[in-house]
Amino acid sequence: MTKLIRVAIVLSFFLTTTILISREFRTSKIPNGNKFACANCHINPSGGGARNSFGKAVEGLVSPGGFEDFWNENLANIDSDGDGFTNGQELQDPAGLWRTGQPNPGDINLVTNPGDPNSKPSTTSLDDINLFAKYELHNNYPNPFNPSTKISFTIPRSEFVTLKIYDIKGQEIKTLVNGNYPAGTYQLEWNGKDKNNRNVAAGVYVYTINAGHFSKSARMILLK
């Protein structure tokens, strides 16, 4: 055996090992990973290949040296492929609570792929998770943030909605939403600019939604 072939064999062993560990790590951290494995993160439905939009969102949440759980409410709230259904809705775990090894919160046969815009939850699946059952102002993501963050809300029926951002003194900074919206979940992005399009200072900001009789506020932190 030539030295070159031996080097190639050793190299291929390490490459293969690295890929397998990487896949196992990622798929064990997302809901239903046992059933769908890489299909949730890759373009090829049988696993492997380039990452789809959900795979990219997952990868973006892995901290540089950290291997902590990243499936959580924030990732569940993102609509990776922009088809109007959050990752949590598509994976039958809207709150991002499910962990590998725990009982599945939804019907595993109704789980769709949050990276594929052609894969949408069925009507049955949406009924099961009671999609628009209540008013909700979801946590912004990321938080803390710089330079921008996403804020989403859910309304169970058509409402006139306002969503405004205030500084810690209660002064209005920006109106993100002001209009009629049909039932559904919506996501806005705040770019850290005030109503005059000026960058605001680092600090704590409050966002408040009013929709019908529903009102809720939450805090977020702009870091610079």
Q: Which is closer to Ca ion, CB of 117 or CB of 221? A: 117
Q: Which is closer to Ca ion, CB of 83 or CB of 167? A: 83
The first and second tokens of residue 64, run together, are 């540089």
User: What minimum distance in Å lies between the beta carbon of 137 and Ca ion?
Assistant: 20
User: What minimum distance in Å lies between the beta carbon of 35 and Ca ion?
Assistant: 18
Q: Which of 168, 57, 170, 73 is nearest to 115 (CA)?
A: 57
Binding to Ca ion (CB under 5 A): which residues in 82-141? 83, 85, 114
Q: Which is closer to Ca ion, CB of 85 or CB of 207? A: 85
User: What minimum distance in Å lies between the beta carbon of 78 and Ca ion?
Assistant: 8
Q: Of residues 30, 76, 81, 106, which one binds Ca ion by CB under 5 A?
A: 81
Binding to Ca ion (CB under 5 A): which residues in 162-181? none
Work out whether the CA dihedral 196, 202, 60, 219 comes out positive or negative. negative
In degrees rounded to 5, what are phi and psi of residue 75? -70, -35
- Residue 79 touching Ca ion (CB under 5 A): yes
User: What minimum distance in Å lies between the beta carbon of 121 and Ca ion?
Assistant: 9
How buried is 196 (Cβ within 10 angstroms: 0-12 exposed, 13-18 middle, 19+ buried)? exposed
Q: Which of these ranges, 60-68, 80-88, 168-176, 216-224, lies near Ca ion under the rule CB under 5 A?
A: 80-88
- Residue 54 touching Ca ion (CB under 5 A): no
User: What minimum distance in Å lies between the beta carbon of 80 and Ca ion?
Assistant: 6
User: What minimum distance in Å lies between the beta carbon of 144 and Ca ion?
Assistant: 25
Q: Which residue(s) pair with 193 in the sheet?
A: 199
Q: Which is closer to Ca ion, CB of 121 or CB of 192? A: 121
Q: Whole-angstrom Cα distance, residue 91 to residue 88?
A: 5
Q: Which is closer to Ca ion, CB of 84 or CB of 156? A: 84
Q: What is the 3-state secondary structure (H, E, C) of 89-151?
A: HHCCCCCCCCCCCCCCCCCHHHCCCCCCCCCCCCHHHHHHCCCCCCCEECCCECCCECCCEEE
The first and second tokens of residue 55, run together, are 């795979």
Q: Which is closer to Ca ion, CB of 89 or CB of 140? A: 89
SS3 163: strand
Q: Which of these ranges, 72-80, 164-172, 173-181, 192-200, lies near Ca ion under the rule CB under 5 A?
A: 72-80
Q: How far is CA 214 from CA 48, 68, 134, 137, 193, in A?
A: 44, 35, 10, 10, 26
Q: Which residues are at the interface with Ca ion (CB under 5 A)?
A: 79, 81, 83, 85, 114
